[in-house]
Structure 1
Amino acid sequence: MKLLSVFLDSLRLPNKAAMKRINRLEMRYTILFLLILLFVVALPIEISLLLDDSYKESDIPQNIYIIQVLLFYPFLMLFLGLTGITVLAGLGVGVSTLIHRHLKFQFLWKMSAFALTKPILIFAVIDLLIGGHWIINLLILIFLFSIIYRMILHYPKKMKDVE
């Protein structure tokens, strides 16, 4: 039940009340939620890779290819997901400094992980319906940046800048 309320709050982002509820969550819920999101992205891609016969043109045996897709690909997705969230949080720290907000990296990391919900769901649906294209990816990335930027704007300016 808690996971459902976390999911709904992540869909409400950049709503300030949803941000406060998400910020109170323990990190284990953030990691679990992130794993589920990455699974949503990886599953359709893994299925298409398993159904694709193009590996037969190379010298890779079928069992090795299946092991690569089922074992190594999810770890690669997890690594890229964690790296991407870290980069987003770092960019968020830079933006928050530029617009004189006082936000910590840890907070922005958690918020970036939850801000991925809508863009990932949109990406998964569009990828299933019409396939991938760099313009669609760019639009989803801009949408993600706008969510993070609006979350940063919810926090007041630093005290010395207000005076």
Structure 2
Amino acid sequence: MVLWKTFLSSLQLPRKQSVFKLNRIPMDITVFYMFIMLFIVSIPSLIDRLTETSSIGSDMNIVFKLIYFFMFYYLPLTIMVFLLITLLAYLFTWIAKSMQRKLKLQIFWKMIAYSTTIPFILYTVIAIITPISDSYLLLSMVFTFVLLFKIINVYPKRKK
């Protein structure tokens, strides 16, 4: 139930009420939410891997295909996304400091994780229907950056 409420709140970003509601969610829920979102994003690739008939591993048992998929696709994807979120959160702490907002790395990590919900869901739906180009990554990053700037502006400026 908490994950469903988190999902619905992340769809309402950058509204002030949803920003503060998501900020109160513990970090372990956020990380688990990201694992689920990354699994949802990897579903089209999993379907392609399981239905592939003309590659080297096409004659493998389905259990081995699943193990191979999780070891060589899902795990590296998760590591890369978590590192990218951490790097962006660190970058946005500097941006928030220059905008005179007092925000910490943990808040940005959560907000970046939740602001990727819409691009991840759109990617999954489009990728199931048709192959998707890499330019979608650029569009989703621009969407996430714009959303983060709006989220930064939700927080009040520092008092001097």
% identical aligned pairs: 32
Opposite residue 33 of structure 1, the aligned amino acid is Y
Q: 1:31-50 maps to which residues of 2 (within 5 A)?
A: 31-50=31-50
Report SS of the residue matched to 1:38.
helix
Taking the aligned partners of 1:26 and 1:136, their CA distance within structure 2 comes to 30
Number of residues of Structure 1 aligned to a counterpart in Structure 2 = 158
Per-residue CA deviations over 1:7-29 (Å, capped at 9, x if unaligned) read: 11011111111111111111221
Report SS of the residue matched to 1:159.
coil
Match of 1:22 in 2: 22
Taking the aligned partners of 1:81 and 1:110, their CA distance within structure 2 comes to 13
Match of 2:152 in 1: 152
Report SS of the residue matched to 1:76.
helix
Match of 1:142 in 2: 142
> What is the CA-CA distance between 1:61 and the residue it aligns to?
8.0
Distance 1:62 1:9, change over 3 A: same
Taking the aligned partners of 1:49 and 1:98, their CA distance within structure 2 comes to 46
Distance 1:93 1:78, change over 3 A: same
> Does structure 1 retain, via aligned residues, the 8 Å contact 2:43–2:124?
no
Structure 2 unmatched runs, 5+:
none
Taking the aligned partners of 2:146 and 2:91, their CA distance within structure 1 comes to 12
Taking the aligned partners of 1:61 and 1:128, their CA distance within structure 2 comes to 23
Give the superposed CA RMSD. Answer: 2.2
Q: 1:122-137 maps to which residues of 2 (within 5 A)?
A: 122-137=122-137
Q: 1:78-97 maps to which residues of 2 (within 5 A)?
A: 78-97=78-97
Per-residue CA deviations over 1:54-89 (Å, capped at 9, x if unaligned) read: 532x9x984697232233322112211211211221
Q: TM-score with structure 1 length normalisation?
A: 0.86
> Does structure 1 retain, via aligned residues, the 8 Å contact 2:37–2:120?
yes
Per-residue CA deviations over 1:97-145 (Å, capped at 9, x if unaligned) read: 2222111111111111111111111111222233221222211111111
Q: TM-score with structure 2 length normalisation?
A: 0.87
Match of 2:105 in 1: 105
Taking the aligned partners of 1:54 and 1:45, their CA distance within structure 2 comes to 15
Report SS of the residue matched to 2:132.
coil
Taking the aligned partners of 1:99 and 1:125, their CA distance within structure 2 comes to 36
Regions of 4+ moved over 4 Å: none
Taking the aligned partners of 1:158 and 1:41, their CA distance within structure 2 comes to 38
